[in-house]
Structure 1
Amino acid sequence: MKVLTLKGKDEWKYPELFDEAFRLRHKTFVEEMGWEAVRKSDGRERDQFDHEDAVHFMMLDGGKLASYSRLLPTTRPHLLSDIYPHLAPRGYPKGDHVWEWTRWTTAWPYRRQGLWSFEGGAMLHTVAQYALQAGIRELSLQGHPTWITRFLQVGYMPRPLGIPESVDGEPVVAFVLPLTPALLQSLEDRVAQRTRQDNFALLGAV
């Protein structure tokens, strides 16, 4: 497994990979989760925020897309500023040090329980590592309230920006994830531990 980190401006270099990512997003968020507002006739979920400055994380198993997520600069229009501002009634952080994390999904053959599947842990680590190296110190998100608990369980300290509100019949809350070098080290240690466990399990099955 490896994770490619690509800017939106790189799409012309990797058209087939980006096409696979937009198809995976449509399958997950429209066909599985029922987000009819973003349904597209061509089966590719992409929006106005998939611009040249968006950062796309694509986890590959060989040449196959296993998992995907996206970061958006909050210095430009993003989901919390333009689609869900009501989720942060007292305002939301923005600036070069804050980016929005969206559209995390994993293809069905690679889905395992919890954030600490190999794929989940690797994506958590890759996004945090990229962000800290880029001078990003906070990530804003919107999601089901259970995501706050999930991030707490893996070492983050989420900060809610409001109370959950119904979006398309589901509770959604906006929150912020602070990033620190200590958190990154913890994620690295957890990924290494999970990798050793997975390798041990594979050896035991031989």
Structure 2
Amino acid sequence: MMYIISGKDTNNYKSLMDQAFELRHKVFIDELRWDIAVESKNIEMDQFDTDDAIHHLSVRDGRVVGYQRMLPTDKPHLLADIFPQLCMVDFPRGPDIYELTRYCVDRSHRQSRREVGSVGSELMVGFIEWGLASGIRKVIIEFETIWVLRALQLGFFVQPLGLETQIGNQKIVASLVNFDEATLKSVRRYRGIDEPVVQFLGSLAETGGFHEAAL
């Protein structure tokens, strides 16, 4: 199951969000050695964890084992404000374009670098389900270059925004990723599971997944 939580509601789901921020720390600070200032030894949060962020949490047996965050591009976000060197065209912006950031899977639930396991594929299905429910069909992703081809094979339309760049110990390319109902069918087929994975919590449950920026 994957829970969708608005940044406005994180205080109401503190246990889940603490696990998510701990997972971010384990992956991005401890494993990938990103040079990020952190206020807590075990928690990774940044200036984009605001009310505008949308948090996606993949949960197994009550534990958060996968995570990603969506940021509106008509407000501060990583590509425009932290990594502008990754973009060689006009920054894609608009209420119908979000940026997918901080994608991570707990080590115990990963496959190889070139494969997507149950949690990873759930996160993919989840952001498509969230997007289609919220009027969002385009996301910016700064991901490893090998995933451009993989995303195309899974049914996404991928438009690179710049050249490959070394960030930490990864080679990253910023891309605009388009998806639709056909993409959802393709990724569900890859998973071998047709059932929806997303459950909206808090204020998003009350609005059927729509949030202010998508109205």
TM-score scaled by structure 2? Answer: 0.84
Identical columns (%): 32
What is the aligned partner in structure 1 of residue 14 from structure 2?
15
What is the aligned partner in structure 1 of residue 89 from structure 2?
90
What is the aligned partner in structure 2 of residue 155 from structure 1?
155
Runs of at least 4 residues off by over 6 Å: none
What is the aligned partner in structure 2 of residue 141 from structure 1?
141
Tell me the secondary structure at the aligned position of residue 136 of structure 2: coil
Any idea what the Cα deviations from partners look like across 1:67-89, whole Å, max 9, x if unmatched? 11111111110001100112112
Any idea what the Cα deviations from partners look like across 1:146-196, whole Å, max 9, x if unmatched? 12122123222211001112333543211011011211122222223599x
Distance in 1, Cα, partners of 2:133 & 2:194? 24
**How do 1:14-163 and structure 2 match up within 5 A?**
14-113=13-112, 114-163=114-163
Please tell me whether Structure 1 or Structure 2 has the larger radius of gyration of its CA atoms. Answer: 1
One-letter amino acid of the counterpart of residue 31, structure 2 = E
- Work out whether residues 165 and 173 of structure 2, in 8 Å CA contact, stay in contact via their aligned partners in 1: yes
Aligned length: 194
- Work out whether residues 30 and 38 of structure 1, in 8 Å CA contact, stay in contact via their aligned partners in 2: no
Distance in 1, Cα, partners of 2:58 & 2:190? 18
- Work out whether residues 110 and 116 of structure 2, in 8 Å CA contact, stay in contact via their aligned partners in 1: no
Q: CA RMSD in A?
A: 1.8
For residue 116 of structure 1, report the CA deviation from its aligned partner: 3.5
Distance in 1, Cα, partners of 2:155 & 2:76? 29
- Work out whether residues 23 and 44 of structure 1, in 8 Å CA contact, stay in contact via their aligned partners in 2: yes
Q: Mark the runs of 5 or more structure 2 residues left unpaired by the alignment.
A: 196-215
- Work out whether residues 32 and 168 of structure 2, in 8 Å CA contact, stay in contact via their aligned partners in 1: no
What is the aligned partner in structure 2 of residue 164 from structure 1?
164
Q: Mark the runs of 5 or more structure 1 residues left unpaired by the alignment.
A: 196-206
Q: 1:42 to 1:116 in 2, by over 3 A?
A: closer
Any idea what the Cα deviations from partners look like across 1:90-120, whole Å, max 9, x if unmatched? 2221101110001111112211234542112
Tell me the secondary structure at the aligned position of residue 157 of structure 2: coil
- Work out whether residues 23 and 65 of structure 2, in 8 Å CA contact, stay in contact via their aligned partners in 1: no
- Work out whether residues 140 and 176 of structure 2, in 8 Å CA contact, stay in contact via their aligned partners in 1: yes
TM-score scaled by structure 1? Answer: 0.87
Distance in 2, Cα, partners of 1:129 & 1:194? 12
What is the aligned partner in structure 1 of residue 209 from structure 2?
none
